[in-house]
Amino acid sequence: MPDALQHSVDVGVATLTLPGESESGDLHVISHFAGGFVVAAIDGLGHGPDAAIAAISAAAVVQSQPELGVVELLEACNRKLRRTRGAVMTLASFDVSRSEVTWLGVGNIETVLVRADPGEGRATESVMLLGGIVGHNLPSLRASTVDIRKGDTLVFASDGIRTSFIPGLDASGDVQAVANGILERHGKGTDDALVVVARYLGA
């Protein structure tokens, strides 16, 4: 990957595998391409080895073709996951030259953009989640693009995290500490859980 892009994002990740299971069905991917990078949060349906197989299959698609748009990536994942139990996932593709992020979610992985300096705009924005299952029931896909500025932070959380983490979300400070704190305070403990905190550092 280009050296400059290695320093365009700071990431913290916190995960929990459901007690009694050897593998988690919740995975994340960060993959760079010419001009940007894509961040994915993936939750294979259910838990255990079959959920992990679905998540690993989707992650492999994102890692191998990060330059695709988020709609095309989800369609490619849908084809790959047809013989698995399927997954839900949210993708965010960062265009560093344009300072934009294009995002799209299918299923229930909550994703919130927290502005470092909201100015007169909104302090937070959320990805629009579409109903469906990647691999079995893909809906009509519509991506959204928003401006991204240095210090803005994306927070992804699988359904092993209570949505109570969203109101009053403070994403400032160390990204790993933010991820750990969300998992500790809002993790359900009854499912695999994943929190990804990705702070944009600029071009």
CATH number of the domain within which 194 lies:
3.60.40.10
Does position 4 have pLDDT exceeding 50, yes or no?
A: no
Q: Total structural domains in the chain? A: 1
Q: Is the pLDDT of residue 67 over 80?
A: yes
Position 45 in a domain: yes
Lowest-pLDDT range of 37-51, 55-69, 119-133? 119-133
Say how far residue 68 (Cα) sits from the centre of its chain: 16
Q: Specify if 2 maps to a domain.
A: no
Segments forming the whole domain that contains residue 34: 9-200
DSSP per residue, 25-91:
SEEEEEEEETTEEEEEEEEESSSSHHHHHHHHHHHHHHHH-TTS-HHHHHHHHHHHTTTS--EEEEE
Tokens 């959380």 sit on residue: 157
Residue 191 lies in a domain: yes
68 Cβ partners below 8 Å, 6+ apart?
Answer: 76
Contact present, 115 and 30 (Cβ < 8 Å): no
Calpha distance 92→30 (Å, rounded) = 10
The average confidence (pLDDT) of the chain is 93
User: Amino acid identity of 87?
Assistant: A
Residue 4 lies in a domain: no
Question: Do residues 18 and 191 make contact, with C-beta atoms less than 8 angstroms apart?
Answer: yes
Domain-located, residue 103:
yes
- Go through the chain and tell me how many residues it has: 203
Predicted confidence at residue 75, as pLDDT, reads 97
For residue range 32-49, list pLDDT tens digits in order. Answer: 999 999 999 999 999 899
- Within a domain: residue 94? yes
pLDDT tens digits, 139-151: 999 999 999 999 9
Do the domain assignments include residue 60?
Answer: yes
